[in-house]
Amino acid sequence: MPLTAPRPRPGPASDPLAITSDSNSAIEAAGKCPAPLHTRRRHMKATANVHKTGRAVAGEELFESLAHFVVTHHSESAERAERIADQAVAFVVTAATATVSMAPSDDVDLGLHALILHTKEYGQLCERYAGRFLHHNPKPGGGARDPEKVAASARAMKAAGFAVFDDLWTVDGTNLAQCDSDCGRPYGDA
């Protein structure tokens, strides 16, 4: 009679995707937020999509300051300003190593400018993720943003593991400044 290992019971010890009561705190401590999960039944496989957040990367103090800046200077609601700040930080971190040309959406650019104005923290973020300072060289009057570059940026952020708020990645043509370059090179180009 062949020997077989006993079948492991479903649960955290045998299933790395099992969700336990302490999973959320572990995920939060790691700086990630869980995507919505559906109830699991015994013996069903579940996939947990865990995404990084710009908020976790920035840290609470910087993040709150960025969101406050967006509320104060752009009259956005606190909830929307937090989402904008989150996407701006995620954009910079992704652009630091992206292999595609990146451009922020009109909305995310509000948070990007807030971040850049926090010069010390912006410089530290650039050094940590890009190994160099990512210069911002806007080209006023350069025309509307390229919708494909904006869409490519959102895709690159998703590929890098960041949560992306799709509704903030639109181009409405009202902001004509081109704020998508690093020393004359688009963000993400070496």
Are 32 and 56 within 8 A, CB to CB? yes
Percent of the chain beyond pLDDT 90?
Answer: 51
Of the ranges 78-92, 154-168, 176-190, which one carries the lowest mean pLDDT score?
A: 176-190
In this structure, which long-range contacts are made by residues 10-14, counting pairs with CB atoms below 8 Å and at least 24 apart in sequence?
10/42, 10/43
* 178 or 134, which is more confident: 134
Give 34's pLDDT tier (boundaries 50, 70, 90): very low
- The pLDDT, as a whole number, for residue 101 is 87
Q: pTM surpassing 0.75?
A: no
Output phi, psi for 165, to 5 deg: -95, 95
Which one has a higher pLDDT value, 24 or 74?
Answer: 74
Q: Which two tokens stand for residue 186?
A: 């688009």
Q: End-to-end alpha-carbon separation of the chain, Å?
A: 62
Mean pLDDT of the chain: 74
How confident is the model over 103-122, as a mean pLDDT?
Answer: 95
Contact by Cβ (8 Å): 18, 12: yes
3-state secondary structure of 180: coil
| Residue 142: pLDDT band with limits 50, 70, 90 | low
**Using one digit for the tens of pLDDT, what is the confidence trace for 40-69?**
333 434 344 568 999 999 999 999 999 999
